[in-house]
Amino acid sequence: MCQLKSPFKLVTLYSGHSDIMPKEKLIAHLSRYIPLKEIEKNELKERVIEKHVKRRHFILQQYDVCKYYTFVVQGCFKMYGVDENAVEHNIQFAAENEWIADIGSFHSGNETRLYIEAIEPSIILQIDKTNLVYLYHNHPKFDRIFRIIAEEKLIEFQNRVLQNISSTADERYLSFLKQYSLLANRLPNTQIASYLGITPEFLSKIRRINARK
């Protein structure tokens, strides 16, 4: 496979002691699984980093090592691979209150074959492996929470693989609307079509048919 160079710059990051609200959103998200004590909340706040990401900038590029789990506070990202014909294939979208990472690269330390790019101007919180393991060991509640999150993502990807081999394009589109209900009107046809494995023209046809039902 040829090595492809992206025409876009690597993400420009802003990190700092800004408004605490993004971290409170993360705490609220994790507390939906298991309520957190104050000491656990404070430890989490100290170990995540807030970053602002411009549209079309990257938090991960091919041949990098994925060093962070990323929680989306505001905005939207896509994770995708690029084939030998320079065609993008979207694997995942992540909007508010969702996680995105190349989990294989994160845990193995191997280079990724994927890109994670901001579709909109975004605010994220990131945690690296060292800090995540610290939370696992010192506050086992986080181990349970992130295990549940990982299991949910595994189920999501398994369902998508089954859809790709057994569902029609129309069925895949309806499933996309169910899974990404808040993104359907925020993403251009080209991005959704890439995720579904169809052309933008065929997606437009599917949308017209469904609009008449």
Nearest to 12 by CA among 92, 98, 121: 121
In this structure, the answer to whether residues 102 and 201 fall within a common structural domain is no
Tokens of 212: 């008449």
Asked if residue 111 has pLDDT above 80, the reply is yes
Place of tokens 């802003």: 14
Strand, coil or helix: 43 = helix
What does the alpha-carbon distance between residue 106 and residue 129 come to, in Å, rounded to a whole number? Answer: 7
Number of domains in the chain: 2
In this structure, the answer to whether residues 6 and 40 fall within a common structural domain is yes
In this structure, the answer to whether residues 153 and 183 fall within a common structural domain is no
In this structure, the answer to whether residues 124 and 26 fall within a common structural domain is yes
In this structure, the answer to whether residues 26 and 61 fall within a common structural domain is yes
In this structure, the answer to whether residues 135 and 185 fall within a common structural domain is no
The percentage of the chain sitting over the pLDDT mark of 70, rounded to a whole number, equals 91
Asked if residue 191 has pLDDT above 50, the reply is yes
What number is the average pLDDT over the span 155-163? 90
pLDDT score of 16? 39
In this structure, the answer to whether residues 152 and 196 fall within a common structural domain is no
Identify the domain containing residue 188 by its residue range.
168-213
In this structure, the answer to whether residues 143 and 175 fall within a common structural domain is no
- The pLDDT confidence band at residue 185, using thresholds 50, 70 and 90, is confident
CA atoms lying within 13 Å on the CB side of residue 23: 17
What does the alpha-carbon distance between residue 2 and residue 84 come to, in Å, rounded to a whole number? Answer: 6
Tell me: the pLDDT tens digits for 12-28? 333 434 445 999 999 99
In this structure, the answer to whether residues 150 and 209 fall within a common structural domain is no
Task: Walk across the sheet containing 115-118 and list its strands.
Answer: 58-60, 115-118, 77-82, 88-94
**What single letter denotes the amino acid at residue 164?**
N
In this structure, the answer to whether residues 117 and 207 fall within a common structural domain is no
Nearest to 62 by CA among 126, 118, 10: 10
pLDDT score of 104? 95
In this structure, the answer to whether residues 43 and 33 fall within a common structural domain is yes
In this structure, the answer to whether residues 162 and 177 fall within a common structural domain is no
